Amino acid sequence: MKYAGIDIGSRTIKLVVLADGELVFSRKSMTSHSPLETAQELMNGAEFDVITATGYGRHLLKGHLGCPVISEITAFALGSRFFSRNCSSILDIGGQDTKAIALDDDGLMKKFEMNDKCAAGTGRFLEVMATALGFTLEEFWRAALSAGKAVKINSMCTVFAESEVISLTSQGALREEVALGIHKAIVSRSVGLLKKVAPPGMVFFAGGVALNECVKVLLEKEMARPVFVPPDPQIVGAIGAALSAMKEA
Amino acid sequence: MSDYTKMWSELGLDLESHDALLSVLGGAYTDIFLSQKNRPEGMKYFDFVMSEVHGLRIQELMDAKAQGRKVIGSYCVFVPEELILAVDGVSVGLCAGAEFNFEGAETLLPRNTCSLIKSAFGFKLGRVCPYLEASDVVVGENTCDGKKKSYELLAPLVKDLYVMDMPQMKSAAGKALLKEEYRRFVAKLEEVSGKKITVKSLKKAVEVVNAKRKAVKRLAELRAADPAPISGLDALLVNQVFFYDDPVRFTDSVHKLCDELEERVKQGTGVFAKGTTRLIVSGCPMAVPNWKLPMLIESSDAVIVGEESCVGERGTRWLTESQGNTVEEIIDSITERYFNIDCAIFTPNPSREEYVKEMTEKLKAQGVIHYSLQFCQPYIMESSPVEKELEKSGMPVLRLETDYSQEDAGQLKTRIEAFVERLKKK
């Protein structure tokens, strides 16, 4: 049997297929104005027997395919165990939301916290700030890592922070230092969320923002505990959905 | 439905906005309530009440007024219905449950005011609440800071705003204050109605209101059955109608509904499958038509089996134990009864978390959703200790903070689904 999981996120859609407990297929695409169409394109040519959907667009696909759905919180809890059995909590920073999840000894979700309605301190926030500074995403975190000190960013609202960044650079602040300030702001917000629920132990860091090495380094420092980033942090939710499909089958 | 246009324009309603409001309300009611499966037949009465909530019921109020009876509107369960009935008055809850004309409300109120207060102002400034327009007296009560200060702004907008002070601690002095306020309220009611409260009229009023409470208590107890004989949405609706309807007719209708539910329990039938995840909702009140959260919960594979809320058990679980033989003694009993209410404006307020725990046991709930309205400091502050205490005793809690808008529906749904998934795995 081949088990597929699809994670329809706000910024990207991820599809994976598991067979004999191994990851045999993985594909990603940007979420377009029509998530359902994008999801169908992704599924084209992928071979699987059953599929489970997760992510904010899960009910859309359920309405279309009649497939089972699970929330992304449960999906991340399940998916994290595919990569590591030693983590006691998960931080997922996705396109438009941040989740902190506590796991019990069996790897089941025990408690979770999510950010409020707006996209403050999420992947989208980092994208907007990188653009405001004229960096690509990779240049952005490399610049932040290279900075000797940080310029403090006061606003976590994407719109206000963007004008703050523009005003700082026009006053002559170094781009690298502003970049580090932005990274520190997002980490401090995530740590606040994580500390509400996370038991001691290793943190599993997932979602698109886990590709940002500066965030990982700062997170380790702030939490004073090891942080584990899986080989492809963006597909953890999709893998969780596939594992759920396997469990239900 | 009859044509109430004449009545509405005499009340000074903005007919165009009012029509728009009724059409949204009607649509939401159809989508949320009438689409439910396996509804009890007894809910038909409440469907009828809701379809005539701005029509026939208002006509009844106008008829009562024509007979010289006074309509007393209020926003809170601390305003004793017994006293209002004892001067042959009509007690009504006022509209504060919809996101209507918030732009208007924000011309008077700070943006960071809770939806309930904003809604009351939106309705007033938009002239779309016939209950408010029909009220001879509007009673404000000094519960939270938001309400307390907003009544200063409401006073010039309504005919007769009467403000009742409220204690903040469950002390002897607190109780004395409440009693004094109830006596002052009696004087006010006697003045506007021109009628004296007598032992007989007060005893009769206590009986009527207690009967109404007993009926909803009976409904609350029936919800302990698995499968649940009634949805949380329908039970909430009954608790909402509690504030609007004629008390005697309401009591009869609730008992009829309960007779049917008892039969369902005997036969082991219900609205959702046996074993459906059972939840308690605890926190801020949900006034009509604030159905967002229960609708999201009950479309996420879970059923609500109890509300620890002012529109729910916090408003109804105590009866007035009237043993007195003088008006003074009965007012003492009434004060005793209302002083039990464990609203988060009290500090400290330990009986609330104890009662939530008790409800989870009685109603065999597997989890608690703590619901706070955004900017409602008393309940938001209390949510964290309530959560800690319940989780400590092994009862999972999900804390949610939201308002009357629909923009966070997707986010809330994700949280609720994740919470239900967590409970199922247990």
**pLDDT tens for residues B109-136?**
999 999 999 999 999 999 999 999 999 9
Structural class in CATH, domain B225-318+349-424: alpha beta
Residues A134 and A220 in one domain: yes
Contact call for A71 and B407, based on CB within 8 A: no
CA distance B115 to B293: 14
Residue B369 phi/psi, 5° resolution? -105, 120
A129 touches chain B (CB under 8 A): no
Q: How many structural domains does chain A have?
A: 2
Residue A60's identity, in one-letter code, is L
pLDDT at A116: 73
**Any idea where the domains of chain B sit in the sequence?**
225-318+349-424
Residue B399: count other Cβ atoms within 10 Å of its Cβ. 18
Q: Look at the pTM and tell me if it is higher than 0.80.
A: yes
Residue A162's identity, in one-letter code, is E
pLDDT at A106: 87
Residue B303's identity, in one-letter code, is V
A92 touches chain B (CB under 8 A): no
Cβ within 8 Å of residue B352, ≥6 positions away:
B308, B314, B342, B344, B382, B386
B407 → closest Cβ in A72, A109, A117: A117
Q: What is the DSSP string of B102-138?
A: HHHHTTTS-TTS-HHHHHHHHHHHHT--HHHHH-SEE
A90 touches chain B (CB under 8 A): no
Residue B341 phi/psi, 5° resolution? -55, 120
pLDDT at A95: 84
Residues A97 and A197 in one domain: yes
- Residue for token digits 């247990």? B426
Residues A63 and A115 in one domain: no
In this structure, are residues B74 and B141 in contact, taking their beta carbons and an 8 Å threshold? Answer: yes
Structure tokens at B363: 């109603």
pLDDT at B323: 78
| A10/chain B closest Cα distance in angstroms | 12
In this structure, are residues A147 and A179 in contact, taking their beta carbons and an 8 Å threshold? Answer: yes
Beta strands B161-164 and A227-228 are unpaired
| A117/chain B closest Cα distance in angstroms | 6
pLDDT digits (tens, 9 = 90+) for B206-250: 999 999 999 999 999 999 999 999 999 999 999 999 999 999 999
Residues A219 and A152 in one domain: yes
- Alpha helices of B289-346 — where are they, by DSSP H? 292-298, 313-316, 327-339
| B410/chain A closest Cα distance in angstroms | 7
In which order are the strands placed within the sheet that holds B302-308?
B302-308, B277-283, B367-373, B397-402
Confidence label for B426 from pLDDT (cuts 50, 70 and 90): low
- Residue for token digits 């732009």? B103
Q: Which residue, A182, A249, A225, is CA-closest to A91?
A: A225
* Three-state SS at B148: helix
CA distance A5 to A26: 10
**Per-window interface: B 346-405 vs A, CB < 8 A:** 391, 401
**Per-window interface: B 90-129 vs A, CB < 8 A:** none
| A230/chain B closest Cα distance in angstroms | 23
Number of A:B CB contacts under 8 A?
Answer: 36
Domain holding A244, by residue range, is 1-84+233-249
Domain of A58: which CATH number? Answer: 3.30.420.40
CA distance A189 to A193: 7
Residues A59 and A136 in one domain: no
Cβ within 8 Å of residue B34, ≥6 positions away:
B47
Q: Is the pLDDT of residue B94 over 60?
A: yes
Residues A50 and A102 in one domain: no
CA distance B114 to B217: 29
Name all contacts of B340-343 with Cβ < 8 Å and 24+ positions apart: B341/B77, B341/B78, B341/B314, B341/B315, B342/B314, B343/B77, B343/B78, B343/B143, B343/B310, B343/B314, B343/B378
Structure tokens at B366: 């597997």
**Alpha carbon distance, N-terminus to C-terminus of chain B:** 49
Q: Per-residue pLDDT averaged across B354-367, rounded?
A: 98
A71 → closest Cβ in B391, B408, B418: B418
Mutation site for A-interface testing, chosen from B390, B398, B411 by largest number of A Cβ within 10 Å: B411
pLDDT digits (tens, 9 = 90+) for B398-414: 999 999 999 899 899 99
Percent pLDDT > 70 in chain A is 99
Residues A185 and A205 in one domain: yes
Average pLDDT, chain A: 93
Residues A124 and A176 in one domain: yes
Residues A149 and A208 in one domain: yes
Residues A124 and A202 in one domain: yes
For B64, the enclosing helix (H) or strand (E) is helix B56-66
